[in-house]
Amino acid sequence: MTAGAHVMTERRHPPFTQVGMASLALIVTGGIYLSSNLSEHVSLAPAVALLAASALLLAGNLFSLTRVEGFAWWRFFQVAKWTFLAYLTTAGLIEFAFLENHTSGGPLIVLTLSLAIFAIEVPTLIAFTVARYAPSQPPGSVRPVT
Amino acid sequence: MIAVKPRSVLILWTAAASRTTILDNMATTAPPPTMGPPAEDAHAAPRPALDFEIVPRKGLIFVAIAVVALVAAIAANKLWPLVFLHVAGGAAWTIIDLFLGLVLGPIMGSMSIPSRLEFTTRLMPKMVLIMPIVVTLTLASGWQLGAHLGTVSSSYPEHAWVVASFIVVGVMAVLALGLLEPANIAVLFELKKPQPDPAVISRLMKRFIYCAGILGIMQVATLVIMTKLASS
Protein backbone atom coordinates (compact mmCIF):
# COMPACT_ATOMS: atom_id res chain seq x y z
CA MET A 1 0.00 0.00 0.00
CA THR A 2 1.28 3.45 -0.87
CA ALA A 3 1.63 6.22 1.66
CA GLY A 4 -1.03 8.19 -0.20
CA ALA A 5 -3.48 5.32 0.00
CA HIS A 6 -2.77 4.96 3.69
CA VAL A 7 -3.49 8.62 4.32
CA MET A 8 -6.66 8.27 2.27
CA THR A 9 -7.93 5.42 4.40
CA GLU A 10 -7.00 6.98 7.71
CA ARG A 11 -8.57 10.40 7.04
CA ARG A 12 -10.89 11.34 9.91
CA HIS A 13 -14.59 11.63 9.16
CA PRO A 14 -17.65 12.53 11.21
CA PRO A 15 -20.02 9.64 12.10
CA PHE A 16 -21.88 10.24 8.84
CA THR A 17 -23.18 6.69 8.40
CA GLN A 18 -24.43 6.40 11.98
CA VAL A 19 -26.21 9.76 11.89
CA GLY A 20 -27.58 9.02 8.42
CA MET A 21 -28.99 5.70 9.61
CA ALA A 22 -30.58 7.45 12.59
CA SER A 23 -32.18 9.95 10.22
CA LEU A 24 -33.39 7.12 8.02
CA ALA A 25 -34.76 5.26 11.03
CA LEU A 26 -36.75 8.35 12.08
CA ILE A 27 -38.55 8.74 8.77
CA VAL A 28 -39.16 5.00 8.54
CA THR A 29 -40.71 5.13 12.02
CA GLY A 30 -42.88 8.05 10.98
CA GLY A 31 -43.88 6.19 7.83
CA ILE A 32 -44.84 3.08 9.83
CA TYR A 33 -46.84 5.21 12.28
CA LEU A 34 -48.82 6.87 9.48
CA SER A 35 -49.22 3.71 7.40
CA SER A 36 -50.56 1.84 10.40
CA ASN A 37 -53.26 4.45 11.03
CA LEU A 38 -54.12 5.78 7.57
CA SER A 39 -57.70 4.56 7.60
CA GLU A 40 -58.61 6.46 10.75
CA HIS A 41 -58.19 9.97 12.06
CA VAL A 42 -54.67 10.12 13.39
CA SER A 43 -52.62 12.85 15.00
CA LEU A 44 -49.91 14.03 12.65
CA ALA A 45 -47.81 15.49 15.46
CA PRO A 46 -45.60 12.41 16.08
CA ALA A 47 -44.96 11.95 12.37
CA VAL A 48 -44.18 15.64 11.87
CA ALA A 49 -41.80 15.61 14.86
CA LEU A 50 -40.02 12.53 13.49
CA LEU A 51 -39.82 14.11 10.04
CA ALA A 52 -38.40 17.36 11.43
CA ALA A 53 -35.83 15.50 13.52
CA SER A 54 -34.84 13.44 10.49
CA ALA A 55 -34.45 16.55 8.33
CA LEU A 56 -32.32 18.21 11.00
CA LEU A 57 -30.05 15.18 11.22
CA LEU A 58 -29.71 15.11 7.43
CA ALA A 59 -28.83 18.81 7.28
CA GLY A 60 -26.42 18.55 10.22
CA ASN A 61 -24.81 15.50 8.70
CA LEU A 62 -24.18 17.22 5.37
CA PHE A 63 -22.87 20.30 7.16
CA SER A 64 -20.45 18.17 9.18
CA LEU A 65 -19.15 16.73 5.92
CA THR A 66 -18.34 20.21 4.57
CA ARG A 67 -15.91 20.57 7.49
CA VAL A 68 -13.84 17.55 6.44
CA GLU A 69 -10.59 18.70 4.92
CA GLY A 70 -9.74 17.10 1.60
CA PHE A 71 -13.01 15.26 1.24
CA ALA A 72 -13.46 13.76 -2.25
CA TRP A 73 -16.45 15.86 -3.28
CA TRP A 74 -15.89 15.02 -6.93
CA ARG A 75 -16.51 11.34 -6.17
CA PHE A 76 -19.33 12.14 -3.73
CA PHE A 77 -21.30 14.06 -6.36
CA GLN A 78 -20.46 11.58 -9.10
CA VAL A 79 -22.05 8.76 -7.09
CA ALA A 80 -24.80 10.85 -5.49
CA LYS A 81 -26.31 12.12 -8.74
CA TRP A 82 -26.89 8.63 -10.16
CA THR A 83 -28.07 7.07 -6.94
CA PHE A 84 -30.35 10.07 -6.41
CA LEU A 85 -31.93 9.35 -9.78
CA ALA A 86 -32.45 5.70 -8.79
CA TYR A 87 -33.95 6.43 -5.37
CA LEU A 88 -36.05 9.29 -6.74
CA THR A 89 -37.62 6.68 -9.03
CA THR A 90 -38.24 4.39 -6.06
CA ALA A 91 -39.73 7.22 -4.02
CA GLY A 92 -41.88 8.21 -6.99
CA LEU A 93 -43.27 4.68 -7.26
CA ILE A 94 -44.17 4.62 -3.57
CA GLU A 95 -45.75 8.09 -3.87
CA PHE A 96 -47.72 6.84 -6.86
CA ALA A 97 -49.07 3.96 -4.75
CA PHE A 98 -50.19 6.40 -2.04
CA LEU A 99 -51.91 8.65 -4.60
CA GLU A 100 -53.67 5.68 -6.19
CA ASN A 101 -55.04 4.85 -2.75
CA HIS A 102 -56.48 8.34 -2.36
CA THR A 103 -54.15 9.34 0.45
CA SER A 104 -54.59 13.09 0.83
CA GLY A 105 -54.27 16.10 3.10
CA GLY A 106 -51.81 16.17 5.98
CA PRO A 107 -50.79 12.50 5.82
CA LEU A 108 -49.94 12.84 2.11
CA ILE A 109 -47.80 15.93 2.76
CA VAL A 110 -45.91 14.24 5.59
CA LEU A 111 -45.41 11.04 3.59
CA THR A 112 -44.25 13.01 0.54
CA LEU A 113 -41.72 14.96 2.57
CA SER A 114 -40.56 11.72 4.20
CA LEU A 115 -40.03 10.21 0.76
CA ALA A 116 -38.10 13.34 -0.27
CA ILE A 117 -35.76 12.89 2.70
CA PHE A 118 -35.45 9.19 1.88
CA ALA A 119 -34.52 10.06 -1.73
CA ILE A 120 -31.76 12.36 -0.49
CA GLU A 121 -30.57 10.38 2.53
CA VAL A 122 -29.85 7.06 0.85
CA PRO A 123 -27.79 8.54 -2.03
CA THR A 124 -25.74 10.62 0.42
CA LEU A 125 -25.02 7.51 2.51
CA ILE A 126 -23.90 5.58 -0.56
CA ALA A 127 -21.90 8.51 -1.95
CA PHE A 128 -20.19 9.12 1.39
CA THR A 129 -19.19 5.46 1.76
CA VAL A 130 -17.59 5.55 -1.68
CA ALA A 131 -16.04 9.02 -1.40
CA ARG A 132 -14.45 8.49 2.00
CA TYR A 133 -11.98 6.09 0.42
CA ALA A 134 -11.39 8.18 -2.72
CA PRO A 135 -8.50 10.60 -3.27
CA SER A 136 -9.25 14.31 -2.77
CA GLN A 137 -8.69 15.07 -6.44
CA PRO A 138 -9.75 13.05 -9.47
CA PRO A 139 -6.94 10.91 -10.91
CA GLY A 140 -4.91 12.91 -13.39
CA SER A 141 -6.01 16.30 -12.09
CA VAL A 142 -3.38 18.89 -11.24
CA ARG A 143 -3.29 19.82 -7.55
CA PRO A 144 -3.11 23.63 -7.13
CA VAL A 145 0.17 24.92 -5.76
CA THR A 146 -0.23 26.63 -2.39
CA MET B 1 -23.97 -9.08 -19.09
CA ILE B 2 -20.99 -7.74 -17.19
CA ALA B 3 -17.71 -6.99 -18.86
CA VAL B 4 -15.68 -9.04 -16.41
CA LYS B 5 -12.91 -11.12 -17.86
CA PRO B 6 -12.22 -13.87 -15.36
CA ARG B 7 -9.05 -15.10 -16.97
CA SER B 8 -7.54 -11.66 -17.18
CA VAL B 9 -8.59 -11.02 -13.59
CA LEU B 10 -6.69 -14.09 -12.46
CA ILE B 11 -3.68 -13.29 -14.61
CA LEU B 12 -3.56 -9.72 -13.35
CA TRP B 13 -3.99 -10.90 -9.84
CA THR B 14 -1.27 -13.48 -9.89
CA ALA B 15 1.08 -11.20 -11.81
CA ALA B 16 0.78 -8.01 -9.83
CA ALA B 17 -0.49 -8.82 -6.39
CA SER B 18 1.66 -9.91 -3.51
CA ARG B 19 0.73 -11.72 -0.32
CA THR B 20 0.31 -8.39 1.38
CA THR B 21 -2.01 -6.78 -1.12
CA ILE B 22 -5.70 -6.42 -1.53
CA LEU B 23 -7.46 -9.73 -1.35
CA ASP B 24 -5.17 -11.38 1.15
CA ASN B 25 -7.26 -9.43 3.57
CA MET B 26 -10.65 -9.71 1.92
CA ALA B 27 -11.77 -11.97 4.72
CA THR B 28 -10.12 -13.29 7.78
CA THR B 29 -11.09 -16.92 7.29
CA ALA B 30 -9.32 -17.54 4.02
CA PRO B 31 -6.16 -19.64 3.95
CA PRO B 32 -3.09 -17.84 2.59
CA PRO B 33 -2.84 -18.05 -1.17
CA THR B 34 -0.62 -20.79 -2.46
CA MET B 35 0.28 -18.92 -5.61
CA GLY B 36 1.75 -15.51 -6.12
CA PRO B 37 4.97 -13.76 -6.89
CA PRO B 38 7.87 -13.53 -4.49
CA ALA B 39 7.95 -10.80 -1.87
CA GLU B 40 10.19 -8.49 -3.89
CA ASP B 41 7.35 -8.03 -6.38
CA ALA B 42 5.33 -6.28 -3.69
CA HIS B 43 6.38 -2.90 -5.01
CA ALA B 44 5.69 -3.72 -8.62
CA ALA B 45 3.89 -1.23 -10.84
CA PRO B 46 0.18 -0.82 -10.12
CA ARG B 47 -2.00 -3.31 -11.97
CA PRO B 48 -4.53 -2.00 -14.49
CA ALA B 49 -7.98 -1.45 -13.02
CA LEU B 50 -10.29 -4.48 -13.19
CA ASP B 51 -12.58 -4.42 -16.17
CA PHE B 52 -16.16 -4.66 -14.93
CA GLU B 53 -19.22 -2.43 -14.80
CA ILE B 54 -20.30 -1.22 -11.36
CA VAL B 55 -23.86 -0.92 -12.68
CA PRO B 56 -24.49 -3.42 -15.50
CA ARG B 57 -26.10 -1.16 -18.09
CA LYS B 58 -27.82 -3.99 -19.98
CA GLY B 59 -29.55 -4.95 -16.74
CA LEU B 60 -31.23 -1.55 -16.66
CA ILE B 61 -33.55 -2.79 -19.43
CA PHE B 62 -34.96 -5.45 -17.08
CA VAL B 63 -35.26 -2.87 -14.30
CA ALA B 64 -37.22 -0.57 -16.62
CA ILE B 65 -39.54 -3.45 -17.60
CA ALA B 66 -40.14 -4.23 -13.93
CA VAL B 67 -40.91 -0.57 -13.16
CA VAL B 68 -43.41 -0.36 -16.03
CA ALA B 69 -45.07 -3.60 -14.86
CA LEU B 70 -45.34 -2.22 -11.34
CA VAL B 71 -46.89 1.07 -12.47
CA ALA B 72 -49.36 -0.83 -14.67
CA ALA B 73 -50.32 -3.19 -11.84
CA ILE B 74 -50.89 -0.36 -9.37
CA ALA B 75 -52.86 1.71 -11.90
CA ALA B 76 -55.02 -1.26 -12.90
CA ASN B 77 -55.53 -2.25 -9.25
CA LYS B 78 -56.40 -5.82 -10.26
CA LEU B 79 -55.86 -8.63 -7.79
CA TRP B 80 -53.82 -11.04 -9.90
CA PRO B 81 -51.04 -8.66 -11.09
CA LEU B 82 -50.68 -7.25 -7.58
CA VAL B 83 -50.51 -10.71 -6.01
CA PHE B 84 -48.06 -11.84 -8.69
CA LEU B 85 -45.67 -8.90 -8.18
CA HIS B 86 -45.92 -9.02 -4.39
CA VAL B 87 -45.46 -12.79 -4.09
CA ALA B 88 -42.78 -13.05 -6.81
CA GLY B 89 -40.89 -10.01 -5.52
CA GLY B 90 -41.23 -11.05 -1.89
CA ALA B 91 -40.12 -14.62 -2.63
CA ALA B 92 -37.07 -13.37 -4.55
CA TRP B 93 -36.18 -10.89 -1.78
CA THR B 94 -36.52 -13.51 0.97
CA ILE B 95 -34.67 -16.23 -0.88
CA ILE B 96 -31.82 -13.96 -1.99
CA ASP B 97 -31.33 -12.62 1.54
CA LEU B 98 -31.46 -16.08 3.13
CA PHE B 99 -29.22 -17.66 0.50
CA LEU B 100 -26.69 -14.83 0.45
CA GLY B 101 -26.53 -14.38 4.19
CA LEU B 102 -26.64 -17.96 5.37
CA VAL B 103 -25.24 -20.00 2.45
CA LEU B 104 -23.14 -17.93 0.03
CA GLY B 105 -21.60 -15.68 2.70
CA PRO B 106 -19.88 -18.48 4.62
CA ILE B 107 -18.86 -20.15 1.35
CA MET B 108 -17.25 -16.90 0.15
CA GLY B 109 -15.31 -16.71 3.40
CA SER B 110 -13.66 -20.05 2.67
CA MET B 111 -12.93 -19.50 -1.03
CA SER B 112 -9.44 -18.93 -2.40
CA ILE B 113 -8.45 -15.31 -2.93
CA PRO B 114 -8.57 -15.24 -6.76
CA SER B 115 -11.87 -17.12 -6.76
CA ARG B 116 -13.32 -14.64 -4.30
CA LEU B 117 -12.20 -11.71 -6.44
CA GLU B 118 -13.76 -13.22 -9.53
CA PHE B 119 -16.95 -14.11 -7.67
CA THR B 120 -17.24 -10.67 -6.07
CA THR B 121 -16.78 -8.76 -9.32
CA ARG B 122 -19.48 -10.89 -10.94
CA LEU B 123 -22.00 -11.00 -8.09
CA MET B 124 -21.90 -7.51 -6.59
CA PRO B 125 -22.75 -5.50 -9.74
CA LYS B 126 -25.81 -7.68 -10.26
CA MET B 127 -26.85 -7.12 -6.65
CA VAL B 128 -26.69 -3.34 -7.25
CA LEU B 129 -29.58 -3.74 -9.68
CA ILE B 130 -31.48 -6.75 -8.37
CA MET B 131 -32.06 -5.84 -4.73
CA PRO B 132 -33.45 -2.29 -5.07
CA ILE B 133 -35.93 -3.27 -7.79
CA VAL B 134 -36.99 -6.48 -6.02
CA VAL B 135 -37.58 -4.54 -2.79
CA THR B 136 -39.48 -1.77 -4.60
CA LEU B 137 -41.67 -4.29 -6.43
CA THR B 138 -42.50 -6.10 -3.20
CA LEU B 139 -43.26 -3.05 -1.09
CA ALA B 140 -45.19 -0.96 -3.61
CA SER B 141 -47.32 -3.85 -4.89
CA GLY B 142 -47.76 -5.06 -1.30
CA TRP B 143 -49.09 -1.71 -0.18
CA GLN B 144 -51.50 -1.57 -3.12
CA LEU B 145 -52.56 -5.16 -2.46
CA GLY B 146 -53.17 -4.36 1.19
CA ALA B 147 -55.33 -1.39 0.21
CA HIS B 148 -57.19 -3.54 -2.33
CA LEU B 149 -57.91 -6.30 0.19
CA GLY B 150 -58.40 -3.98 3.15
CA THR B 151 -55.60 -5.56 5.17
CA VAL B 152 -53.86 -2.22 5.79
CA SER B 153 -57.02 -0.87 7.40
CA SER B 154 -56.87 -0.66 11.18
CA SER B 155 -60.25 -2.42 11.29
CA TYR B 156 -58.69 -5.56 9.82
CA PRO B 157 -58.78 -8.29 12.52
CA GLU B 158 -55.10 -9.19 12.06
CA HIS B 159 -53.95 -5.55 11.89
CA ALA B 160 -51.33 -6.12 14.59
CA TRP B 161 -49.61 -8.68 12.34
CA VAL B 162 -49.65 -6.20 9.46
CA VAL B 163 -48.05 -3.55 11.64
CA ALA B 164 -45.48 -6.14 12.76
CA SER B 165 -44.61 -6.70 9.10
CA PHE B 166 -44.17 -2.93 8.64
CA ILE B 167 -41.76 -2.85 11.57
CA VAL B 168 -39.72 -5.82 10.34
CA VAL B 169 -39.53 -4.35 6.84
CA GLY B 170 -38.62 -0.95 8.31
CA VAL B 171 -35.70 -2.35 10.28
CA MET B 172 -34.55 -4.32 7.26
CA ALA B 173 -34.81 -1.22 5.07
CA VAL B 174 -32.64 0.86 7.40
CA LEU B 175 -29.98 -1.88 7.52
CA ALA B 176 -30.08 -2.56 3.80
CA LEU B 177 -30.12 1.08 2.68
CA GLY B 178 -27.80 2.46 5.35
CA LEU B 179 -25.17 -0.27 5.51
CA LEU B 180 -25.49 -3.02 2.92
CA GLU B 181 -26.10 -1.06 -0.27
CA PRO B 182 -23.36 1.55 0.40
CA ALA B 183 -20.89 -1.25 1.19
CA ASN B 184 -21.88 -3.09 -1.98
CA ILE B 185 -21.19 -0.07 -4.19
CA ALA B 186 -18.11 1.12 -2.31
CA VAL B 187 -16.38 -2.27 -2.59
CA LEU B 188 -16.89 -2.19 -6.36
CA PHE B 189 -15.36 1.29 -6.60
CA GLU B 190 -12.43 0.13 -4.48
CA LEU B 191 -11.87 -2.96 -6.63
CA LYS B 192 -11.70 -0.80 -9.75
CA LYS B 193 -8.79 1.23 -8.39
CA PRO B 194 -5.32 0.43 -9.76
CA GLN B 195 -4.18 -0.08 -6.16
CA PRO B 196 -7.14 -1.14 -4.00
CA ASP B 197 -6.70 -0.85 -0.26
CA PRO B 198 -6.94 -4.34 1.32
CA ALA B 199 -8.13 -2.93 4.64
CA VAL B 200 -10.99 -1.08 2.96
CA ILE B 201 -12.06 -4.14 0.96
CA SER B 202 -11.93 -6.30 4.07
CA ARG B 203 -13.97 -3.83 6.12
CA LEU B 204 -16.62 -3.36 3.44
CA MET B 205 -16.94 -7.06 2.65
CA LYS B 206 -17.37 -7.92 6.32
CA ARG B 207 -20.05 -5.24 6.62
CA PHE B 208 -21.81 -6.63 3.55
CA ILE B 209 -21.72 -10.26 4.62
CA TYR B 210 -22.73 -9.62 8.26
CA CYS B 211 -25.54 -7.34 7.12
CA ALA B 212 -26.76 -9.93 4.64
CA GLY B 213 -26.71 -12.53 7.44
CA ILE B 214 -28.80 -10.36 9.76
CA LEU B 215 -31.24 -9.58 6.95
CA GLY B 216 -31.46 -13.30 6.16
CA ILE B 217 -32.41 -14.07 9.77
CA MET B 218 -34.95 -11.23 9.77
CA GLN B 219 -36.50 -12.69 6.64
CA VAL B 220 -37.55 -15.67 8.75
CA ALA B 221 -39.71 -13.26 10.75
CA THR B 222 -41.20 -11.98 7.48
CA LEU B 223 -42.03 -15.54 6.47
CA VAL B 224 -43.75 -16.18 9.82
CA ILE B 225 -45.84 -13.01 9.53
CA MET B 226 -46.79 -13.43 5.89
CA THR B 227 -47.79 -17.08 6.23
CA LYS B 228 -49.85 -16.15 9.31
CA LEU B 229 -51.63 -13.39 7.35
CA ALA B 230 -52.16 -15.59 4.30
CA SER B 231 -53.73 -18.35 6.39
CA SER B 232 -56.00 -16.13 8.50
Q: Is residue A63 very low, low, confident or very high in pLDDT (cuts 50, 70, 90)?
A: very high
Q: Is A63 on the interface with B (CB under 8 A)?
A: no
Q: What is the pLDDT of residue B123?
A: 87
Nearest Cα to B25, choosing from B124, B107, B117?
B117
**Mean per-residue pLDDT of chain A:** 87
Beta carbons within 8 Å of B41's beta carbon, 6+ residues apart: B16, B18
B40 or A52, higher pLDDT: A52
Please state the rounded mean pLDDT for residues B122-142.
90
Domain annotation covers residue B10: yes
Note the pLDDT tens digit of each residue in A10-53.
567 899 999 999 999 999 999 999 888 876 778 899 999 999 99
Q: Is A2 on the interface with B (CB under 8 A)?
A: yes
Nearest Cα to B217, choosing from B182, B184, B168, B179?
B168
Nearest CB among A32, A97, A100 relative to B166 is that of A32
Please state the rounded mean pLDDT for residues B90-106.
86
Containing structural domain, residue B190: 6-230
Contact B104, B215 (CB under 8 A): no
User: Does pLDDT of B171 surpass 90?
Assistant: yes
Q: Is A79 on the interface with B (CB under 8 A)?
A: yes
Domain annotation covers residue B209: yes
Note the pLDDT tens digit of each residue in A86-143.
999 989 988 998 888 888 888 899 999 999 999 999 999 999 999 999 988 887 776 5
Q: Is residue B13 very low, low, confident or very high in pLDDT (cuts 50, 70, 90)?
A: very low
In chain B, residues with a C-beta closer than 8 Å to the C-beta of A40 are 154
pTM: 0.80
Nearest Cα to B223, choosing from B172, B154, B181?
B172
Q: Is residue B224 very low, low, confident or very high in pLDDT (cuts 50, 70, 90)?
A: very high
Please state the rounded mean pLDDT for residues B24-38.
39
B224 or A5, higher pLDDT: B224
In chain B, residues with a C-beta closer than 8 Å to the C-beta of A93 are 67, 70-71, 74, 136, 140
Nearest CB among A83, A97, A129 relative to B140 is that of A97
Domain annotation covers residue B71: yes
Q: Is residue A55 very low, low, confident or very high in pLDDT (cuts 50, 70, 90)?
A: very high
Q: Which of A7, A28, A37 to mutate to test the interface with B (most CBs of B within 10 A)?
A: A28
Cα–Cα–Cα angle for A119, B170, A96, rounded to 5 degrees: 50
Q: Is residue B33 very low, low, confident or very high in pLDDT (cuts 50, 70, 90)?
A: very low
Q: What is the pLDDT of residue A11?
A: 64
The segment with the largest mean pLDDT, out of A37-41, B58-62, B109-113, is B58-62
Q: Which of A84, A88, A126 to mutate to test the interface with B (most CBs of B within 10 A)?
A: A126
Q: What is the pLDDT of residue A92?
A: 92
Residue B131 burial (C-beta neighbours within 10 Å; 0-12, 13-18, 19+): buried
Domain annotation covers residue B1: no
Domain annotation covers residue B180: yes
Q: Is residue B10 very low, low, confident or very high in pLDDT (cuts 50, 70, 90)?
A: very low
Q: What is the pLDDT of residue B21?
A: 42
Count: domains in chain B: 1
Q: What is the pLDDT of residue B48?
A: 62
In chain B, residues with a C-beta closer than 8 Å to the C-beta of A82 are 55
Q: Is B88 on the interface with A (CB under 8 A)?
A: no
Q: What is the pLDDT of residue B22?
A: 42
